[in-house]
Amino acid sequence: MIQDIEPKRLANEYSGKTPGKGSRLMAFQENQILVKKGETADFVPYEMLQAWCTRCGAKLPDMVYLFSVGETKYFLTDLPEKFLLWLTENAFLESESVPGYEWISMFEMRSRRPKEQIFAVATAWHLYVWYRDNRFCGRCGQTLVHSEKLRMLKCPDCGNMVFPKIAPAVIVGVTNGERILMTKYAGRAYKRYALIAGFTEIGETAEQTVAREVMEETGVRVKNIRYYKSQPWGFDSNLLLGYFCELDGDDTIHMDTEELSVAEWVDYRDIPDDTEGLSLTREMMIYFRDSRRKLHEEM
Ligand SMILES: [Zn+2]
């Protein structure tokens, strides 16, 4: 899964670290990230911006420390417009060759590697969205300031404390003997099979979300709800909670056509391999397939 980057680790302890040589800058606009051209996921080095600022007499922009992966520290920043132009056009330097940079969508980033960089960019995106959408106090309208000790924004006037927003959602593998309930979303870029999924509402447990979402999307009842694993999914500001459960009673599907374009029982032998290796959804499908296979081999 996206977070499985051992022996590396994404160290997310908050601190007021300052950027230095080797630090990487995460710059977003709309749903895109600035990345070096090519197949990999290389972000703008701090020293490149620093050298450019020195040369042009420009002021370094503000930078917020995000996290570290190994020795590399990551910072969120709004890069100056002229610097972006220089980066993308490869201009300005007489002797050195400067790699070109491009804006690519967060969805396209999923196909780049190495995986720890994809996890880093998804996590940076989650933090970026939170900072972007929490500039002012929702209670009194004052500009929020960053706490020196915590990943928290606080209001200097009324004392309101704003913590990172993480939306819990469930992923559900509903099994029915040799088959598992698979779906495809209606009207989304992601066209492959998915499992039932949905956000936890205020006032319910994750297990209640499981039963409610399965009923809403497919009209079937479930039993024996069991927790599997969780996954941070920064692309959508989620914490995903994976559950398996079993069909309880009638297997007739009444699909919610607003949400889904396909909902069907799929035999474990028809579940394709996971070539991406990022999502909890895919891992759960493979887990079901492989545990069924093993069961048959043992019989
Ligand atoms: Zn306030």
Cα-to-centroid distance, 199 and ligand 1 (Å): 29
CA–CA dist 3, 186 (Å, integer)? 27
Which one-letter DSSP state was computed for residue 178? T
Q: Provide mean pLDDT across the span 81-94.
A: 72
Cα-to-centroid distance, 124 and ligand 1 (Å): 26
Q: In this structure, what token pair is assigned to residue 64?
A: 């917020």
Average pLDDT, the chain: 93
Inform me whether the pLDDT recorded for 276 exceeds 60: yes
Cα-to-centroid distance, 156 and ligand 1 (Å): 7
The 10s digit of each residue's pLDDT in 135-167 is 999 999 999 999 999 999 999 999 999 999 999
- The pLDDT of residue 97 is 54
HEC letters along 177-208: CCEEEEEEECCCCCCCCECEEEECCCCCCHHH
- Structural domains for the chain: 10-132 (3.90.79), 134-164 (no CATH), 167-298 (3.90.79.10)
Q: In this structure, what token pair is assigned to residue 294?
A: 């093993």
Cα-to-centroid distance, 154 and ligand 1 (Å): 8
Q: Provide mean pLDDT across the span 22-44.
A: 93
Cα-to-centroid distance, 142 and ligand 1 (Å): 5
Cα-to-centroid distance, 127 and ligand 1 (Å): 21
- The pLDDT of residue 96 is 54
